[in-house]
Amino acid sequence: MNVETSMRITREMMLKVASDTVARQSRASRGLLAAYLCGSLLEEDYLLGGTGDIDLVYIYTAPVEAPREIISLTDEVHLDIAHYYQGDFRDTRSLREHAWLGPALITCRILYDPQHFMDFTQASVRGQFDRSDHIYKRASQQLDQARSIWLHYQTSRVHPGPEDVLAYLQALGYAANAVASISGKPLTDRRFLLQFPGRAEAFGKPGLHAGLLGLLGYPNLPEGTWSEWLPQWRSAYQAIPAAQASPRLHPARLAYYLSAFTSLGAGPQPETALWPLLRTWTMAAGYHPPDSRERRAGHQA
C-alpha cells in the first residue's frame, strides 16, 4: 500500500485504512469470522511523536498458525494484526477475567461480524465486567506473574545477560500493570510511564511512580544519556536479522519507537522514554552474539 508520507496523518485516514484492510481480508479468507479494532487509535492521543499503529484482531473459524503480523504502511504508520481462533472467545466469563483480552473487548470497535459473533461476545463480556471480583482477578494475574519471576531470582544466582534483564523488566511490568488494572486497561510500552502516575494515583499510592523509576535506575542516569543511547539502540535494532525478528521488533516499527523516544526524551518528562527504550533495547541485544558491539553496548547501558 502506498501512502504519501508527506500527508498529515489523521484519525479518519487511519480508520479508513483499518476498514479497507478488514474488507480485503474478509474477501480473501473464507474462514474469517469477525474482526475488530482496538488500541491507541480509539483513544484521544492516537499518535506519539507523529507515529502510531493500527491494532486489528481477526477471529477465524479454524485454529491459526501465526498469532501476530506486522504490515508496513508508511514510516509513520503500520498495521499490527493479531490472529485468534474462535474457541479462544467461547468462555465469556474467562474473557471478563483476562488481563488483556477483556479490557480490549469492552472498548473495541467491531469492523466485520456477519454472524454477530462479536456482538454477542462483547455484550457478554461487558456484563459485570467492573464487578470487584473480576477486577481483582485481572490484577492478580499480573501480580502472580511478577511474583513468579521474582521468586525465580531469589533462588538462583546468575551473571545477568539480556535474558535476565528482560525478565527483571517483565516482572516490573507485570507488577505495575497489576496496579494499573485496578482502574483501567493494562499499559502498553510506549505510554507506560506516561500513564502509570495516573493509575498509581487512582490506586491511592502515588509514591509507586517514584518507586518504579527507582527500580528502573532513572536516578542514576547522567545528563545527556539519551543522545548517547539512541544511536546505540538504533544500531542494535537495525542489526537484527529481519527473518529472526519478533513482531515486536519488526523493521517496520523502527520509526514507531525512535520517534517516541525522541519526543518523550525532549519533553517535560524525559524519564517517560526510559521504559520503552530499555525494554526494546534489551530484547534487541538478545539477538546478537555475546562478543558483539550491539550486545556490549546494551549490557553497559
- Contact (CB, 8 A) for 278 and 232: no
CB atoms within 10 A of CB 292: 14
How far from 208 is each of 21, 35, 76, 177, 279, CA to CA, in Å?
Answer: 41, 37, 33, 12, 20
What confidence score (pLDDT) does residue 3 get?
39
Residue after which a domain boundary falls, among 73, 105, 126? 126
- Based on the fold, state whether residues 204 and 121 are members of the same structural domain: no
Euclidean distance between CA atoms 145 and 131, whole angstroms: 22
Euclidean distance between CA atoms 173 and 167, whole angstroms: 10
CATH value at residue 27: 3.30.460.10
Per DSSP bridges, beta strands 77-85 and 52-60 are parallel
Per-10-residue mean pLDDT of the chain, 301 residues long, equals 56 97 96 97 94 98 94 96 96 94 96 97 95 97 96 83 93 98 96 97 97 95 87 96 91 96 92 96 94 92 89
- Decide if 2 is inside a domain: no
- Decide if 33 is inside a domain: yes
- Contact (CB, 8 A) for 85 and 64: yes
Euclidean distance between CA atoms 106 and 99, whole angstroms: 12
What is the Cβ-side half-sphere exposure of residue 182, based on CA atoms within 13 angstroms? Answer: 14
What confidence score (pLDDT) does residue 156 get?
75
- Based on the fold, state whether residues 216 and 240 are members of the same structural domain: no
Side chain identity, residue 47: L
Q: Which domain, by its residues, includes 174?
A: 130-220
What confidence score (pLDDT) does residue 157 get?
74
CB atoms within 10 A of CB 48: 19
- Based on the fold, state whether residues 161 and 196 are members of the same structural domain: yes
> What is the layout of strands, in order, in the sheet containing 32-38?
68-72, 77-85, 52-60, 32-38, 109-112
pTM: 0.93
Euclidean distance between CA atoms 167 and 147, whole angstroms: 11
Report the number of distinct structural domains present in the chain.
3
What confidence score (pLDDT) does residue 248 get?
95
- Based on the fold, state whether residues 54 and 17 are members of the same structural domain: yes
What confidence score (pLDDT) does residue 7 get?
57
- Based on the fold, state whether residues 91 and 140 are members of the same structural domain: no
In sequence order, the β-bridge partners of residue 78 are: 53, 72
- Based on the fold, state whether residues 249 and 265 are members of the same structural domain: yes
Residue after which a domain boundary falls, among 126, 160, 177? 126
Residue after which a domain boundary falls, among 78, 103, 126? 126
In sequence order, the β-bridge partners of residue 219 are: none
Rg of the chain, C-alpha, whole Å: 20
- Contact (CB, 8 A) for 38 and 61: no
